[in-house]
Amino acid sequence: MSSDSVPTEPSDFIRDLVARHVTEQRYPKIVTRFPPEPNGYLHIGHAKSICLNFGIARENAGQCNLRMDDTNPAKEEVEYVESITTDVQWLIAGWADHCLGLKPKGATPAAQTVNGQPDFHLAPADQSKFQNPNSKIAVEPFFASDYFDQLHGYALTLIERGLAYVCDLSPKETDEYRGAPDRPGRDSPYRHRPVAENLDLFARMRAGEFPDGARSLRAKIDMASPNVWLRDPLLYRIRHTAHHHTGDVWCTYPLYDYAHCLSDYLEGITHSICTLEFVDHRALYDWILGALDLPRPLPHQYEFAKLNLGYTIVSKRRLLQLVQEKIVTGWDDPRMPTLSGLRRRGVPAAALRRFVTGVGVTKFDSLTDVAVLEHAIREELNAAAQRRLAVLRPLRLVLTNLAPGEKVECAATNDPQSELPTTRQIALTREVWIESEDFAEVPPPKFFRLKPGGEVRLKYACIIKCDEMVKDAAGHLVELRCTADLTTRHGQPNADKKVKGTIHWVSAIEGVEAEVRLYDRLFTVPEPAAEEDFLKVVNPKSLEVVTAKLEPALAAARPGELFQFERLGYFTPDAKESAAGRVVFNRTITLRDTWAK
RNA sequence: UGCCCGAUGGUGUAAUGGCAGCACAGGUGACUUUGACUCACCUAGUCAUGGUUCGAAUCCAUGUCGGGCAGCCA
């Protein structure tokens, strides 16, 4: 299947629901959001969420806002804001760019009146203006921290309505009072403070009069609720910490449950899609929005199962550990399942989208076989990659019937999958490199490649016969001496002569050398996250570096270009460590190999 | 022993009361100047028990198994 014949539009229970809402004309426009916390790099698990949220937007002529869910200044950094923005744009490029919700830099929700009621709204921005390359408008993602003023105002409303109170319990005491899932909690002694006192204390919290953790603002719901998230959850905590986006304006910060539903509302989100662990929070999401009597339609939360991938860790905390303990070279190490790692490794964004579509969206907690990802990558690369010849582990082969300076020009196909394939010239010379694996002195059964006295075709060139092995004093094979039958070249009388095997080769005269990094899976077990210590199952052979022999055209390869080294796999120049005149190649993935099995 | 969510081949999913289908993986063969790609064929499934129904993967009941929830993380 070629990359332009991607299967039909996906369907799943969330898309079905959205389709129903569209039919009912429940909303003027479908607006979703992708809300990462900028405390780490995006990974393949996020790709599922991104493709779902942007997919729904593009299938319904809607919009998907990129929003930094940045309510915890202790963990968040600008570095992550930047990487997240880059990664999202890369993943959706050419597919859902037109649905990407960004906003003019610095924009915050505007006050308005709806049905006679005061309201705030950060209206969907006109994306077409931003997409004009001549646009002078600086844009940025949405930030939950841009709503701190409005969030504070809503908190005052809740206090005034007797629906929130300032609590003086310490974190430890709060825990004790909350009870347990099978045991009801007890009311805080501060639960019935008068409104005026709550207002005063909340103002003083904001003014910085109290140390971290001394007081909190809590919703007044039900300490006996079977849903622990409804047992007077915290809305605000005190943190004397500067924030990456708001600086030192605030020392009180809202918590996720309070900030998220209201951020959705302020942006006019219609469908707030998150993962299963938030199912229990939905009651709180609805309670907060319901308690405020907001004038516009309320967003609703829907949940799906996050991605689990075999032989892979998909957890920001553990990924950070791999980086910090230098098990990998960074967040963008090509072995990492981060979007930046996959990109650097040579995985096209379209392959990730294809993969995610194949996995589907359900509420079942599953473990997807890596083979599904690998298949999606090969499908995409088979259509996109230019073919080249390279030898990873060279063995010298001398064609004894060719003169030392002789060059036999051969036409090699660049793009066999294309309707009008193009070719390039490569020169066959007296000395060439072949893959050492392609010769066996004692061949196993059904071995198609070169063996003593055997024949094999050099791809794009001619059939050769192995006459002699040359070994060193220690008995190691150092060279093969063969005879080339030039009459079996393309266009020659014996071109159609059949041999069982065809192997790749590189001219020892014209070829160039380059570092090639061969990657394997990072973990040795299918479910590293289930391990007591996942660092113990790191694959010690996840990276092998070789000096390969490449056909000369490869010396000019640029980052972003995708190649298939024939019979070996897909490779791409490393964008970070390649320099002019010194290309470093990353192996994205091997070719499927049914012989090795 | 509280609340919530879920269970379809080895894996991931579809079937929305009416023929259990697709993809991946695995196997066999064809093709092949990539042991790739492509093509053909094969293997293999409704958690259990009861009920409703002409008819149940689907609805109901009970059970079993798995996952989530007790951060001033998101």
SS3 of A524-590: the string is CCCCHHHCCCHHHHECCCCEEEEEEEECHHHHHCCCCCCEEECCCEEEEECCCCCECCECEEEEEEE
Exposed (0-12), middle (13-18) or buried (19+): which is A476, by Cβ within 10 Å? Answer: exposed
- Nearest residue by alpha-carbon distance to C1' of B11: A369
Mean pLDDT value across residues A173-180: 97
**How large a percentage of chain A has pLDDT more than 90?**
95
Q: Half-sphere exposure (CA, 13 Å, Cβ side) for A473?
A: 0
Minimum-distance nucleotide, CA of A237 to C1': B72
Exposed (0-12), middle (13-18) or buried (19+): which is A241, by Cβ within 10 Å? Answer: middle
Mean pLDDT value across residues A70-97: 98
pLDDT in tens, A311-337: 999 999 999 999 999 999 999 999 999
The Å distance, CA of A444 to C1' of B53, is 63
Minimum-distance nucleotide, CA of A170 to C1': B72
C-alpha A273/C-alpha A508 separation (Å) is 57
Confidence band for A136, pLDDT divided at 50, 70 and 90: confident
The Å distance, CA of A45 to C1' of B13, is 18
C-alpha A344/C-alpha A331 separation (Å) is 11
Q: Which residues contact A50 (CB under 8 A, 6 or more apart)?
A: A34, A42, A88, A91, A92
pLDDT above 80 for A7: no
User: Residue A5 has what pLDDT?
Assistant: 38
User: Residue A3 has what pLDDT?
Assistant: 36
User: Residue A10 has what pLDDT?
Assistant: 87
Give, as ranges, the nucleotides of chain B with any atom within 7 Å of a protein CB: 1-8, 10-16, 23-27, 33-38, 66-74
User: Residue A596 has what pLDDT?
Assistant: 83
Taking all residues of chain A, what is their mean pLDDT, rounded to a whole number? Answer: 96
Q: Kindly state the tokens that stand for A478.
A: 């150092």
With the CA atoms of A353, A142, A304 and A265 taken in that order, what torsion angle do they form, in degrees rounded to the nearest 10? -140
Which of A129-138, A156-165, A533-542, A585-594 has the least mean pLDDT? A129-138
Q: Which residues contact A457 (CB under 8 A, 6 or more apart)?
A: A463, A464, A488, A499, A501, A502, A503
The Å distance, CA of A190 to C1' of B73, is 25
Minimum-distance nucleotide, CA of A492 to C1': B33
State the CB neighbour count (10 A cutoff) for residue A529: 15
Q: What pTM, to 2 d.p., does this model score?
A: 0.96
pLDDT in tens, A106-126: 999 999 999 999 999 997 677
Which of A304-313, A334-343, A588-597 has the least mean pLDDT? A588-597
The 3-state DSSP composition of chain A as helix, strand, coil percent (nearest 5) reads 30, 25, 45
pLDDT above 50 for A229: yes
Q: Euclidean distance between the first and final Cα of chain A, in Å?
A: 24
